[in-house]
Structure 1
């Protein structure tokens, strides 16, 4: 059954969700205060890189099933189901999440709800937010208790967001057990396609739904930092972290996923989410429960400094004047997102230490240049490595993994490479005469 849906906020989450809902057969209107962004989306242009999304967006803008506006009144008149997909960045003054955009969306929408409506929050928020917002909606909406709010956290992976929207591995829905209303009924209609394919759904209270996303991200961050901490021990002992991860990954209680040692995690979710989780625990008086996340964060940041120090050793003890190629700027492949990117952070630190740094990334260079305009950017991997004293692979794009070490070797000044993602075939590079340095790995 088709629903009339609005999606408030058309950034990475909102634009992807809006296009996905249209693909699932719903009529959708996306809302944002950024007029330039709305104009681009209305032309079928995606203002960021996400595989598969441009085709999906154009398809449904052209079909008329998906449109965009800056007028929230238009959305309130059109839709009966409203998704909140605005950002919750880290506060500039601390670790907590900045709720200004979520609060503004609710304060703008709720007074316009003149008929029974359901609001489903997708933004990642501190636990307790949904209950507060539900009360705010009932207070502001002309229909009172017939305006109901639930929480439906997103689990999008950059590079796989379209797949995750259309074919999620699970659905989580938080409802107020005292005032459940129509939220579950409406959500089941919205996600009828996924439920028909027997996608698991967890219907729970608001607080649990809010905690699911940050708990998942905290667990993944912990797993990544764990293997990176072990990599430090491997570097000190001559052990090989990749073989170690393979061995413990066969244990089905542990699993091999997210046990790839390297530069660590970044992006717009994991770093700020674990910090916001810690901040909220402190507000609730249970900060000691999550103190381990401070070390998770510290291990992650330490990996970047480790690569800078390793680069300094590789070029003879001083970075001043060293010509270094950094392959990668985005925090992960198949994304142009450079927020808290380990790759870009390393490039920037090398630059500040006096190295001549040349960066290439297949999709992230425009965003990277906004953050670090003083870096040198090359149009190709070959241009980046030309005459380099050292090459650092910092983002595991396929284009970089597939480079021919012999071909690259003919371009560089010295055949030295730091594999910051432990993704290259080390034996092949060593056989081609390269000094190969992995992180926590045997080196040749």
Structure 2
């Protein structure tokens, strides 16, 4: 396709955290003129040097390439958004302290920053994950300031570690638009932004504000439910002597169920699934339909029980006590290909064992800096060999490829006692047992 087939747009991205930095780089890669704005001057300075302030594969190269063409710039000056005609709101919506509901302060601040610079015909595009009803409230604020500007809600569906690919090649595009002529024009404008993506045949869902806001939290709730379901089956397998991995393989052959997200283990964490399902429950309560989402409380409970069970299993394997035992923990990030330690199951387990008297040593390929800032009392080292030196137990808690591919015979030379707890069911039990290890995993014999 030629540039004439896909005309460029002038875009601002408000909020340059994980979502915004990736979105800005990818929109520039698609040929648009993009400015990324954030109130964090230090973050903007790093991005202006094409340095990603977090680990995400491919992102540094995309930042550098986009900035070398002049298509991408970053600024901490609010006026930098003035030239843009399409404005993406990409700020975070964390869980409120002491509550389940979402904290919308950053979203409200982003819109307040944008309002003085809106022009007739401008399009404001919300990508942040918000409780249903937020878009309607923000749309009223926007039209009160500039009646000829329009809000669209366009939720993101990024997977950390695959965010660049998921932005450039999403599995669907969802637009929540007003049901009037302005909505039709908004669809046409956003179709220009995503012209190359749509040309690949990406499915498109055009709907109302309410449904668009529900799509993201519904998707995350379903995924969380699927993960917690197989972990509930792991609890039953442990009680009955079954094998949860073989169980997952068997039911996963059913096309109505599928095998993805049926990997039993330590459960989910990160900055999305836990806080999103809690915010979903909180919003349902506010709307008077809390019974509809009561099951999510058990989803959350099952997920948190996995962490406690992992510590209990460590104690069981260590003959009833972990006090004074040197324990190596492989993984600190909540998932591989990320340095995100928000609500990390791996760190939660490591911290619980440390508090119970174990000598815990943690390693991770990318997340040590973030993890040590969050848990400064834990010991962190750079390599598996350092972590495993003299260990009486090794726990695989984040399934990085380099950990899954470890040579059990070589690692046995480092440890004091060859015991492996596989918190992600990612290793080959036969291989490790053949190398002389005691191997245990959640939900397996």
TM-score range, shorter chain: over 0.9
Alignment TM-score, normalising by the size of structure 2: 0.98
C-alpha distance in 1 between matches for 2:414 and 2:237: 32
The CA deviation at 1:181 is 5.2
**Unmatched 5+ residue regions in structure 2?**
1-6
Is the 1:334–1:397 Cα contact (8 Å) retained in structure 2?
Answer: yes
Is the 2:119–2:148 Cα contact (8 Å) retained in structure 1?
Answer: no
C-alpha distance in 2 between matches for 1:424 and 1:124: 34
Pair 1:103 & 2:105 matched: no
The CA deviation at 1:166 is 0.6
**For 1:279-318, what aligned pairs fall within 5 Å after superposition?**
279-318=282-321
Match of 1:16 in 2: 22
The CA deviation at 1:279 is 0.3
C-alpha distance in 2 between matches for 1:402 and 1:209: 41
Is the 1:44–1:54 Cα contact (8 Å) retained in structure 2?
Answer: yes
Match of 1:221 in 2: 224
Match of 1:71 in 2: 77
**For 1:252-401, what aligned pairs fall within 5 Å after superposition?**
252-401=255-404
Match of 2:85 in 1: 80
* RMSD across aligned positions (CA): 0.8
Report the secondary structure of 1:263's partner residue: coil
Report the secondary structure of 2:222's partner residue: helix
Is the 2:398–2:424 Cα contact (8 Å) retained in structure 1?
Answer: yes
Match of 1:52 in 2: 58
Is the 1:148–1:181 Cα contact (8 Å) retained in structure 2?
Answer: no
Pair 1:93 & 2:125 matched: no
The range that moved more, 110-119 or 401-410, is: 110-119
C-alpha distance in 1 between matches for 2:178 and 2:284: 22
C-alpha distance in 2 between matches for 1:157 and 1:6: 23
C-alpha distance in 1 between matches for 2:350 and 2:359: 10
The CA deviation at 1:272 is 0.3
C-alpha distance in 1 between matches for 2:386 and 2:406: 13
Alignment TM-score, normalising by the size of structure 1: 0.98
Q: Deviations over 1:195-251 (max 9, x none)?
A: 111100000000000000000000000000000000000001110000000000000
Report the secondary structure of 1:294's partner residue: helix
Q: Deviations over 1:261-318 (max 9, x none)?
A: 0000000000000000000000000000000000000000000000001111111212
Q: Deviations over 1:6-32 (max 9, x none)?
A: 000000000000000000010000000
The CA deviation at 1:113 is 1.2
The CA deviation at 1:40 is 0.4
Match of 2:3 in 1: none
The CA deviation at 1:116 is 2.1
Match of 2:141 in 1: 136
Pair 1:62 & 2:68 matched: yes
C-alpha distance in 2 between matches for 1:281 and 1:68: 38
The CA deviation at 1:115 is 3.3
The CA deviation at 1:356 is 0.4
Aligned residue among 114, 119, 122 for 1:117: 122
Q: Deviations over 1:379-420 (max 9, x none)?
A: 101111110010000000011001111111111010101000
**Unmatched 5+ residue regions in structure 1?**
none
C-alpha distance in 2 between matches for 1:197 and 1:87: 29
Query: Post-superposition, which runs of at least 4 consecutive aligned residues in structure 1 deviate over 3 A?
Result: none
How many residues in Structure 1 have an aligned counterpart in Structure 2? 438
Report the secondary structure of 2:147's partner residue: helix
The CA deviation at 1:114 is 3.1
Match of 2:179 in 1: 177
Q: Deviations over 1:28-58 (max 9, x none)?
A: 0000000000000001100000000000001
Report the secondary structure of 1:391's partner residue: strand
C-alpha distance in 1 between matches for 2:297 and 2:183: 37
Aligned residue among 246, 253, 257 for 2:249: 246
Match of 1:167 in 2: 169
C-alpha distance in 1 between matches for 2:296 and 2:119: 44
Aligned residue among 135, 160, 165 for 1:158: 160
**For 1:35-46, what aligned pairs fall within 5 Å after superposition?**
35-46=41-52
C-alpha distance in 2 between matches for 1:10 and 1:328: 26
Report the secondary structure of 2:36's partner residue: strand
Report the secondary structure of 2:205's partner residue: strand
C-alpha distance in 1 between matches for 2:251 and 2:351: 35
Q: Deviations over 1:123-145 (max 9, x none)?
A: 000001001000011112xxx22
Match of 2:4 in 1: none
Is the 1:418–1:436 Cα contact (8 Å) retained in structure 2?
Answer: yes
C-alpha distance in 2 between matches for 1:181 and 1:86: 26
